Structure 1
């Protein structure tokens, strides 16, 4: 991956280049992004620039030398990766699966789409129904990898994707290495939730924030690089919030609306009809989704409610409603009053937090639908 291949954040790239050229690269960099913004390809382009044997200083890596080719293929022996994993059928021989057991899946996913999202990764690893974690065993593996000499005589590079998935014990094991790294050792943390990264690691890292890609830039990239028709690309670019990863997911047909809209429609229809038994029965498909998709449903519902509220206020032109959602948003916007939304938002947010905290899903969603039922039918 070269800098010229990275979509968006054009103002950030010269800053990174100057940092490397001036020998001012911190030993710990934390890239803060929203899902799908592209921090991983940017980090890979940065590492490739750092190891390139024929680098064009002030510009870009050559992209063709042996070191560049190895980084591009995620096969460089001095570039290591850690990311959230969990037990699957193929890792059932151990209760402590490590990133190394999934490297083939990781490389394949990156090769297909460097802008993959967290749900994309879990689907590729076969853990879509679980929460990925970076364990204490993984932290030990990171320390072991970085304690070895560099294979190619240069630096050692550790990419930690979603350090917020580390528990406190795992993060504390890494802390000493982050505080006192061996020479030419670099950490690259990529986070979607910096506030959930242990503060001692966060405070010792240089924070680099990524920003959404401009809609017109993203639409052009979707059309030129991915062959998506201009009209569709413009819609995906706008609705994705400037996230290449989310836009690609929408374009591939794997959008949240296809997964969650039928479930949410059934829930809201049962709320409106006042059919509490059917509402409770409708939780069964939700319980079968797995925790990550249950969180995704709550996030989608919050966004859907926002679109309903804006439609009710006559602001549908700026509500960013997907074509597949238009009929449902229009229908429900006429059925719910303004006072419903604030408490419903809070109910879905609390449900998402409970799922994240591993509270029993049946209790969480029974409580959720009871709240929605009471909000609508008793006009609380």
Structure 2
């Protein structure tokens, strides 16, 4: 089937993932066409989906929440506990297929169209999109929400954005992991460029295990061997997936003529975790209002605040990578201050960690006894059963 030049589509969204769908779901007036290369929403799933409860509420899809976590546990590469951060809850996990299916239903209920299995050949600054084998469509605005696409990232001058590979497997375990917590593993031996993670599923009987950085498959195999040495065995691998993790810094602006960006094309992810859903949830509403009313004030104000937060996270993340021993000491201090109720940590706003390190709280004075007690907890984060 060939598409003619259709001027009545005022908005064309390139990308039907969370960024493109949430934006389209917020647009009430103009007609929207969403173009997506995959054949159905949410597939293949390529995101762990951990977000704060506030971010989940902004998406407005409660049925997509599959797990709730009360705490984050930080481990070194010998699986000794560095510290833990509690919340009520601290984070939830959004299933990407469920999330995108619900958003797609909301988009089509508004009368917008989603073209699945459709690939874009070219995007013109004049507002037209060439589709492989199907012709061209044009609109007053083009929303670029196509993920970490180098050609689209260059449009918004996100060329300095660092992109690394990531790999994740879903596994069955022989030991039941504490399902109230998720775990991140830090250290040069396991993940020198990023970190590794273990996120329990299904009452702790299954888990997502992943890693970011160079040679992720080989490093993941080494991680599984280390887990085996402390008694957590992977009995079977249910599925696997790979993807790209963007680490910043974010683009200067989301606007370029008739083009407007959202998500990874702006390098708008949390550089400590690589998660982009937080930034999408913050920007989609203002972006939709900009399209409806042609007033960029709210969009640019929101982007500048978000960009400042992401830049702060970027600086903190780089410092943590370079000064790992000092970072572990600081992280213990953060956890200690948070446990005493002296500060509140937002899982998606990682700069909130800084509020736990103010001198008046003496946050860096962590007793040797407390540190030794944490180090002695090796292996206690899982239980047989």
Length-normalised TM-score, structure 2: 0.26
Which structure's CA Rg is the greater one?
A: 1
Length-normalised TM-score, structure 1: 0.26
